[in-house]
A and B are shown apart, each in its own frame.
Chain A
Amino acid sequence: MFIVEMQSITKRFGDLIANDHVNFQLRKGEVHALLGENGAGKTTLMRILYGLYHPDSGVIKVKDQPVVIHSPKDAIQLGIGMVTQHFALVPPLTVAENVVLGYQNSFVLNQTQIEESVAEAARRFGLEINPKAIVRHLSVGQRQRVEILKALYRNAQILILDEPTAVLIPQEVDALFETLNRLKEEGLSVIFISHKLHEVTQITDRVTVLRDGKVVGTVNTADVTQKELAAMMVGRETFGVSRSEANSEKGAQKPMLELINLCANDDKNLPILKNICLTVFEGEILGIAGVGGNGQRELAETICGVRQPTAGNIRVDGQDVTGKTPSELTRAGLGRIPEDRHEGMVVHLTVTDNLVLEHLDEFTRNGVLDHKAIRQYAGELIRKFQIKAKPNDITRTLSGGNMQKVLLARVLARQPKVIIAPQPTRGLDIGATDYVRQQLLEQRQRGAAILLISEDLDEILALSDRIAVIYEGEIVGTLPAAEATPERLGLLMSGAVKEH
């Protein structure tokens, strides 16, 4: 018996078909994965089920009854709960207030009463959490627990989890899976949106694979291997990049980027980076792992001269560059792939304009831009970096992957000695991700020193020669890649231990 049946669901956004006649069936008491690359239509399908989008065509049945879900309110009434990727919580409110939000009908809000009832529900579902705690003060794992509790408090029998592990450290993932297994025993049906194969094979009973908005197939998890799932997901046998061993046999390596006791403040003028000491050698990728918000953004900004350090020094190729402006740093051999693609370029300008934006002085003759030279240079880069765009296309119209290629081309064409890459593949699909990673590895081969800052542990493990873990603005440990296991990194990322 199916508790949810979605039949031939189609949803268009303009020209894009996000869901193309998708069929999806959820059994009662199973954990069912929706697997697919970014943009495959997983989230769209679930937003339709939760009433956030309306399908252009198709039928939804819940418990064998055809239903029309106009809004989340209808979904909640049908027993559907959804935990979105960006938590739908209100940070300044308490846990109890967040849980009852929109579910209480009485006009007066009785704080003691809601706190008691939320505490009671937390005990019943085994989701220990203090109902009086302010959500802002909770860890990401705890917030997720509040979200799950919120859904269950509304008597959800069907729980949708959108990429629930993306923000968790490995230990929190284990705790989440334990909770899900227990709730499954009690009859909860779970839809688990993910693109991480090992998690899908670990926790789910069945998998529905989506590609380009279409269902590739639904299989029993026990009957398939990760490799087969990967092939279904991307439509080809293998994917991923392979890293050659470090080219370190040349003896003593040359330090290219040195951070010496670097300190900096955040936007609220509170210390965010505390005595950071790191060295990145020639031909090396140093990965910075950590849960988001532990100073990664500020670290990249400080090295790139966007944020001024309050103490300490930065050296590029032995030369002290502390306090230099971004353009002076570019000349000193520093290349930065901006964290936010939209921040790194002027999206209303053409691809050509963006490609030369950082070096306009070199294409200027007597104060006038040399358009012939610019066109030639841009054409070369477009070919070399396989950017799928015409030189005069407006950058805004490019896909995320192609935008990232424009940025990469602009930075890498300068052959920088040091490359700062914060979150270089965030939001990219597998193809584009592979491309970016391949480019970084090629730069490493060329001898560049690369500082890779990423919240994606798989990315860090796949690319880095050495891995440093940042926690609350401190480097709490540095390991050679060979010794780094997800468990060991997870402990460091949680701040539980320090290794020096």
Chain B
Amino acid sequence: MEVFLVNLIAATFRVSTPIVLAAIGETYSERAGILNLGIEGIMYFGAFVGFLVADKSGSLWLGLFIAVLSGIVFGLLMGFFTVTLGVNQHVSGLGITLLLTGLTLFTFRLFYGGRSTPPSIPSFQTLNVLPENPILGPILSQYWLTYVTFLVIVPLAWWVLYRTNFGLKIRSVGENPEAVDAAGISVPAVRYATLAIGGGLMAAGGAFLSLFQLGAFTHGIISGRGWVAIAIVIFGNWHPVRVMLGGLIFGGTFALQLRLQAMGLQLPVPYETFLALPYVVTIIALVIAGRNASYPAALLKPYRRE
């Protein structure tokens, strides 16, 4: 039982990492009033391009860097559609996800043909902190990006949003862009900035799966994690720390269902029931938390001065 719990906790952090990364990225842009539904596509492309560069260059670091860069670029593209052109955010976001899903599959075929087994590379290894300790050892044995996510990116997001002038501008743009404009701040600049930060974090989340966890790229590598991240942002009421908790709940349920499946219990339900569990939990959590959700007032609204 003890081993089970220790492994479960360790797996929870691992599984949560990509979701939390993407959800924090989404938090930035939604706080500024942009719902980035390109999240799923940006994660997918990030996972693939990171893998491709790492495979061809032999450098995992270069792969991660290019992945993040691609996320920033597509975040800015989202900005071009929604901020500069004022296109509907749902349409632009879904458009980017469709575009990137297609582009990924197409490029994958260009480089790897139609092979049935996914190509794989040696991935980043976990850090072994306190390897002797029977409890903390496995829990602390995590990838460096997991450490960075929970110890740097989440607290930093909170600090930026609530303790810096940039954060004050972000929160204001998401609530009342007119006020920000009247105060002499460029609304587009703030929105572009959050979309770039957000895109980078989403792509890092995708690349975590291919460069850290799997060391491979598969067609179903993201399988809806981006959409889960969107739900988690609402669950977390657009607050980085609560968003992180939401990510951990999803990650925990995901890790639990994997273990339940592996235990081979003879239950009168098909194994897909377990697979669905994290998503069901997300929906339930969302229904409970979503009723009191205080949406950024300017979310989804393009800002035009005249």
A, B assembled together: yes
Chain A, Cβ-Cβ closest to B173? A90
A-B contact count (CB 8 A): 84
Task: Give the residue of B165, B176, B186 whose beta carbon is less than 8 angstroms from that of A90.
Answer: B176
Q: Which of A100-108, A189-197, A478-486 contacts B (4 or more CB under 8 A)?
A: A100-108
Q: Are B169 and A101 in contact (CB under 8 A)?
A: yes
Interface residues of A in 62-119 (CB under 8 A from B): 71-76, 82, 84, 86-93, 97-98, 100-109, 111
Complex interface bits, A213-241 against B, C-beta within 8 A gives 1, otherwise 0: 00000000000000000000000000000
A53 at the interface (CB under 8 A from B): yes
Chain B, Cβ-Cβ closest to A107? B164
Docked pose: A91 CA to B294 CA in angstroms: 12
A17 at the interface (CB under 8 A from B): no
Chain B nearest CB: distance from A146 CB in Å?
A: 11
Complex interface bits, B160-179 against A, C-beta within 8 A gives 1, otherwise 0: 00111111110110011011
B37 at the interface (CB under 8 A from A): no
Task: Give the residue of B180, B297, B306 whose beta carbon is less than 8 angstroms from that of A53.
Answer: B306
Complex interface bits, A114-152 against B, C-beta within 8 A gives 1, otherwise 0: 000000000000000000000000000000000000100
Q: Are A90 and B171 in contact (CB under 8 A)?
A: yes
Chain B nearest CB: distance from A297 CB in Å?
A: 18
User: What residues of chain B lie closer than 8 Å to A105, measured between beta carbons?
Assistant: 165
Chain B nearest CB: distance from A456 CB in Å?
A: 24
**Interface residue count on the A side (C-beta < 8 Å):** 34
Q: Are A88 and B176 in contact (CB under 8 A)?
A: yes
Q: Are B165 and A72 in contact (CB under 8 A)?
A: no
User: What residues of chain A lie closer than 8 Å to B55, measured between beta carbons?
Assistant: none
Q: Are A102 and B163 in contact (CB under 8 A)?
A: no
Docked pose: A419 CA to B294 CA in angstroms: 37
B185 at the interface (CB under 8 A from A): yes
Complex interface bits, B241-262 against A, C-beta within 8 A gives 1, otherwise 0: 0000000000000000000000
Q: Are B175 and A93 in contact (CB under 8 A)?
A: yes
Q: Are B184 and A71 in contact (CB under 8 A)?
A: yes
Q: Are A109 and B185 in contact (CB under 8 A)?
A: no
Q: Are A102 and B184 in contact (CB under 8 A)?
A: yes
- Decide yes or no: A52 and B181 within 8 Å by CB, A90-B175, A90-B176, A91-B297 being known contacts: yes
Interface residues of A in 393-421 (CB under 8 A from B): none
Chain B, Cβ-Cβ closest to A82? B182
Chain A nearest CB: distance from B170 CB in Å?
A: 11
User: What residues of chain A lie closer than 8 Å to B183, measured between beta carbons?
Assistant: 72, 76, 88, 101-103, 150
Q: Are B163 and A98 in contact (CB under 8 A)?
A: no
Chain A, Cβ-Cβ closest to B292? A268
Chain A nearest CB: distance from B189 CB in Å?
A: 11
**Interface residue count on the B side (C-beta < 8 Å):** 25
Complex interface bits, A1-43 against B, C-beta within 8 A gives 1, otherwise 0: 0000000000001000000000000000000000000000000
Q: Are A93 and B167 in contact (CB under 8 A)?
A: no
Chain B nearest CB: distance from A10 CB in Å?
A: 16
Chain A, Cβ-Cβ closest to B181? A72
B305 at the interface (CB under 8 A from A): yes
Task: Give the residue of A76, A91, A93, A106 whose beta carbon is less than 8 angstroms from that of B165.
Answer: A106
Chain A nearest CB: distance from B168 CB in Å?
A: 6
Docked pose: A272 CA to B264 CA in angstroms: 56
Docked pose: A345 CA to B182 CA in angstroms: 33
User: What residues of chain B lie closer than 8 Å to A104, measured between beta carbons?
Assistant: 165
Docked pose: A84 CA to B186 CA in angstroms: 18
Q: Are A73 and B306 in contact (CB under 8 A)?
A: no
Q: Are A93 and B168 in contact (CB under 8 A)?
A: yes
User: What residues of chain A lie closer than 8 Å to B176, measured between beta carbons?
Assistant: 88-91
Task: Give the residue of A84, A91, A103 whose beta carbon is less than 8 angstroms from that of B175.
Answer: A91
Q: Are A102 and B185 in contact (CB under 8 A)?
A: yes
User: What residues of chain B lie closer than 8 Å to A86, measured between beta carbons?
Assistant: 178
User: What residues of chain B lie closer than 8 Å to A75, measured between beta carbons?
Assistant: 184
User: What residues of chain A lie closer than 8 Å to B171, measured between beta carbons?
Assistant: 90, 92-93
- The listed residue with most B CB atoms (<10 A of its CB), out of A86, A88, A150, is A88
Task: Give the residue of A53, A87, A109 whose beta carbon is less than 8 angstroms from that of B168.
Answer: A109
Interface residues of A in 130-187 (CB under 8 A from B): 150
Chain A nearest CB: distance from B50 CB in Å?
A: 30
- Decide yes or no: A101 and B172 within 8 Å by CB, A72-B181, A72-B184, A109-B167 being known contacts: yes
A-B interface, 7 closest residue pairs, ranked by CB to CB distance from nearest: A73-B184, A102-B183, A88-B179, A88-B182, A102-B185, A90-B172, A72-B184
Given contacts A103-B184, A107-B164, 13 further A-B contacts (CB under 8 A): A52-B306, A53-B306, A84-B182, A88-B182, A89-B179, A91-B297, A92-B175, A93-B171, A93-B175, A101-B185, A107-B166, A108-B163, A109-B164
Could you show 28 A-B contacts with beta carbons less than 8 Å apart?
A52-B182, A52-B306, A71-B186, A75-B184, A84-B178, A84-B182, A86-B178, A87-B179, A88-B178, A88-B179, A88-B182, A88-B183, A93-B175, A101-B168, A101-B169, A101-B179, A101-B180, A101-B183, A102-B180, A102-B184, A102-B185, A104-B165, A107-B165, A107-B166, A108-B163, A108-B165, A109-B164, A150-B183
